Chain A
């Protein structure tokens, strides 16, 4: 059974026309798969490789370099909440925020809540230091956060 949907295949083929080499579509294809399935399985890697005319090991090599992608043993929750721990956020309590969220949701950075809703992560500078401490919810930045504000965002998810 194929893992990639027809629409994904079509989008991947379409992207291939924008680059001089198909391999360049590796990251976009991995994003597509992970966004939808919350991880990238070995089977998905093989199918991406076939579409890009690569060896699966090449796709896997690239994927494993970026801590961003998750394999089938480390699936993501429905949403991913990244808490910045770099300098400007640290000066405004970013590390304490991360610790208190870990405590609140009974998970460590990298883990997912029991209901599968949220994967909590630490992040390096999110490029929003003027609003420290900040977090990233999927790919939306939220500034000037407190534990309460994060909790209310999570409740609305």
Chain B
């Protein structure tokens, strides 16, 4: 297979790629110039026609989301950029921001112009210090060059970007948790509706979009709808609800692979292709036991499911929650799934915001049960108990406000179903694989 020529990552790794000068030399801000000559509705329609779906995890069609804003609203309307990137395994936003911040800023200004917003808040997880400094410098360069401010490139359009740093909490990535946190409150997700497009940040209409989504917008405006639609997996003509999976995608590859990294390929590559052709296979000649298809919230692919295409529909066909963030974590055949599942459960109980009882208690109990199993004191019926808890928490069963708990449930559901014999064998053996660090670390 011929290697795909990266578009979103085209400038990554080049000298001084984060600077305005090099960005403009590479043709940067030409999409913005083009967009400023279009009508805002025309840009929305272009993004809609491209089939672009949000890259932050939920895969909602971006152009369609933009049309949910109230028509003829007097403003202000806000664009909140989600750069909280905390789903385990995910790091594509970080690479874009650190190495090519102007690409993101260009996407933000175009999107603001399209949705008639004069202000964007970029919510950045605190841990991304290097991203923060790259963005801060890039934003300052833009103000000095008249690309941001009261008169964007002489068009009369006003656009400001405010960088806002979070405080190390995964739930701030959930769009309404993000909004609450931005407002200076605890990051408790809101009950929807109202959706942010109607009532979002500071009670004003707000669009929340991911960093990678912004990068896609630049190239859709530049290269057009046909170009974007020429890549990926077309919508299933027999399924009117399928929006298709178009365009390039940044896949993050980590875990047991020889060449971990962020790779840009058209949507729909299989896990096996990604691991073999890009990741250079599994180290030490080992086999693969399981693969996380899109961040741990999405569950697991078993070794027999590696030919699953990683488009928006693929992982769901084999029982995973979805494509998520397309963060692929490879787990080799020498790794215990009991350890892996415990690690996932602990993450979600640590990160649950505690607002909904089923999520707060369910994630805590799943962690406790997994701890019991790992300490050699599990019983067979614990597996059914885990499945029962996992089946009862989340938006899908309808017991919680946000999707964190669906993400907590999925690795449990998949692991117990796809790797049950391993869990049974472990419980029967009565062995314990608890490591010293875990006794030190609190949940």
Name A residues whose Cβ lies closer than 8 Å to a Cβ of B.
18-21, 23-28, 30-31, 52, 61-62, 65-69, 82, 85-88, 90-91, 95-96, 98-99, 102, 108-110, 122-132, 136, 138-141
* Those of B210-253 within 8 Å (CB) of chain A: 252-253
Residues of chain B with a CB closer than 8 A to A98's CB: 437, 440-441
Contact (A66, B86) CB under 8 Å given A21-B202, A23-B184, A87-B340? no
Given A87-B296, A139-B127: 17 more A-B contacts, CB < 8 Å: A21-B202, A24-B183, A24-B202, A62-B186, A66-B187, A86-B347, A88-B255, A88-B329, A90-B343, A91-B329, A91-B335, A102-B437, A125-B90, A130-B262, A132-B260, A140-B130, A141-B130
B162 touches A19 (CB 8 A): yes
Name B residues whose Cβ lies closer than 8 Å to a Cβ of A.
76, 85-91, 93-94, 125-130, 132, 160, 162, 164-170, 181-187, 202, 204, 252-256, 260-262, 292, 296, 327, 329, 331, 335, 339-340, 343-344, 347, 350-351, 353, 435-438, 440-442
A27 touches B165 (CB 8 A): yes
B164 touches A88 (CB 8 A): no
- Distance, CA A82 to CA B128, complexed state (A): 13
- B-side interface mostly: mixed
Cβ distance A35 to chain B, nearest Cβ, rounded Å: 11
Cβ distance B256 to chain A, nearest Cβ, rounded Å: 6
Cβ distance A147 to chain B, nearest Cβ, rounded Å: 12
B255 touches A91 (CB 8 A): yes
Cβ distance B414 to chain A, nearest Cβ, rounded Å: 14
User: Which residue of chain B lies nearest to A136 when distances are taken between CB atoms in the complex?
Assistant: B127
- Distance, CA A19 to CA B254, complexed state (A): 38
- Distance, CA A135 to CA B22, complexed state (A): 31
B183 touches A87 (CB 8 A): no
- Distance, CA A136 to CA B125, complexed state (A): 13
A96 touches B435 (CB 8 A): yes
- Distance, CA A96 to CA B327, complexed state (A): 24
B184 touches A127 (CB 8 A): no
Residues of chain A with a CB closer than 8 A to B186's CB: 61-62, 65-66
- Distance, CA A128 to CA B182, complexed state (A): 24
Residue from A27, A109, A140 within 8 A of B184 (CB atoms): A27
Residue from A82, A91, A124 within 8 A of B350 (CB atoms): A124
A124 touches B88 (CB 8 A): yes
- Distance, CA A23 to CA B184, complexed state (A): 5
User: Which residue of chain A lies nearest to B165 when distances are taken between CB atoms in the complex?
Assistant: A31
- Distance, CA A42 to CA B441, complexed state (A): 27
Q: Which of A25, A31, A127, A131 counts the most chain B CB atoms within 10 A?
A: A127
User: Which residue of chain A lies nearest to B327 when distances are taken between CB atoms in the complex?
Assistant: A129
Cβ distance A124 to chain B, nearest Cβ, rounded Å: 6
A128 touches B91 (CB 8 A): yes
Residues of chain B with a CB closer than 8 A to A23's CB: 183-185
Cβ distance B106 to chain A, nearest Cβ, rounded Å: 21
Residues of chain A with a CB closer than 8 A to B164's CB: 24, 27-28
Residues of chain A with a CB closer than 8 A to B184's CB: 21, 23-27, 52, 62
Residues of chain A with a CB closer than 8 A to B252's CB: 129-130
B440 touches A99 (CB 8 A): yes
B254 touches A27 (CB 8 A): no
11 sample A-B contacts, Cβ–Cβ < 8 Å, listed by A number: A21-B183, A23-B185, A26-B184, A28-B164, A87-B292, A87-B343, A91-B331, A122-B441, A123-B127, A126-B127, A141-B130
- Distance, CA A20 to CA B128, complexed state (A): 25
User: Which residue of chain B lies nearest to A66 when distances are taken between CB atoms in the complex?
Assistant: B167
